[in-house]
Amino acid sequence: MINSVSTEYIYDNSGRPVKSLRIQLNAICNFDCIFCHMEGTDRSMTYMSPDEIEKIVEVAANHGVNRIKFTGGEPLLREDIEEIIGRVRNHIDGNISLTTNGVMLPKLANKLKKAGLDRVNISMHAIDEYNFKFITNTEKKDFLPVVGEGIKAAQNAGLGPVKINFVVMKNINENEIDNMINFCAENQCILQLIEFEANREKEKSYEYLKYHVDIRPVEDKIKKKALRVEHNDLHNRERYLINTDYGDVKIEFVKPMHNTDFCRNCTRLRVTADGNLKTCLLRENDYFNIKDSLNDIKLLDNEFIQAVRSRVPYWR
């Protein structure tokens, strides 16, 4: 039974309401992707219980939050993932989604749907086997076909539309974009092309200079082919419908770098696996430790309000 929730959002000082939570369920993964930022946290075996996660969601729901995104690490490594989804569904009648590498979906997709999950994002940053193994650091295992099976399993379970997350990286997978567009058209997935990101302090880093590529020229090319343009409310992202030889496909662009519009339209608060509220992925000193507040709903509510009101757009 869904609890009745308030639609009166809390706003930060920039006038942005918080409408959704991005909840990190763990900080471990069965992949070791070369670009992974682990949601701005260190790798760790520390994570909150289903009961603790539910309390945070209950407080957020009382302030109008009605969308949840579960992430990791790899959230499907949690053996209690179905319980977590079920508990959260008690408070959320909006969209509950999950980002995964897809490897465990063939076994779990139907159970996740039954527990209350609406849809999945699947991280698939290459369809070339060599590139896939290089990016994920899984040279000794052949996971790519399993990810393909995971996509089908998610669709068959009704966890759609499936979004494919594709982080574009210089000299690695940028030449696979056209093939990925065709793959998503053929498999009836939405393609989400994501710009490699870093905070200001790391823009001169070896990693950023090595991997970052501006995806605006790609978007300009797609825009000219668009049959229709939609917008994702989160970050005001454009989504283009184009036609290919394999059918129609929707392509969304995630451009976080130096993008004031992206930050201006951010309506999400993050929750880390070890029990912190985090206002922004790119900030490194914006943690609100709520672990000690989880047994006191009033105190937790105050911490939530304080975290929301302290949010500041990173790019202004």
Per-residue pLDDT tens for 142-168? Answer: 999 999 999 999 999 999 999 999 999
Minimum mean pLDDT among 44-48, 82-86, 91-95, 177-181: which range? 44-48
Average confidence (pLDDT) over 173-202? 97
d(CA 101, CA 229): 28
What is the percent of the chain with per-residue pLDDT over 70, rounded to a whole number? 98
* Cα angle: 202, vertex 311, 40; to 5 degrees: 40
Helix axes 129-136, 144-157, angle to 10 degrees: 90
| Identity of the amino acid at 215 | I
At 8, give phi and psi (nearest 5°).
-90, 100
Minimum mean pLDDT among 116-120, 137-141, 239-243, 307-311: which range? 137-141
Structure tokens at 93: 């009648």
| Identity of the amino acid at 159 | L
Nearest CA among 187, 188, 181 for reference residue 244: 181
Confidence of residue 6 (pLDDT cuts 50, 70, 90): low
Which class is 20-309 in CATH?
Answer: alpha beta
User: Could you read off the pLDDT of 290-307 as tens digits, one per residue?
Assistant: 999 999 999 999 999 999
User: Could you read off the pLDDT of 245-288 as tens digits, one per residue?
Assistant: 999 999 999 999 999 999 999 999 999 999 999 999 999 889 99
At 23, give phi and psi (nearest 5°).
-105, 115
Structure tokens at 175: 């030449």
Task: Please return the burial class of 228, using the count of CB atoms within 10 Å of its CB with bins 0-12, 13-18 and 19+.
Answer: exposed
158 φ/ψ sector (left φ>0, alpha ψ -120 to 50, else beta): left
Nearest CA among 215, 214, 159, 226 for reference residue 192: 215
Average confidence (pLDDT) over 178-194? 98
The sign of the dihedral angle between the CA atoms of 24, 28, 29, 31 is positive
Helix, strand counts (H, E) of the chain? 10, 12
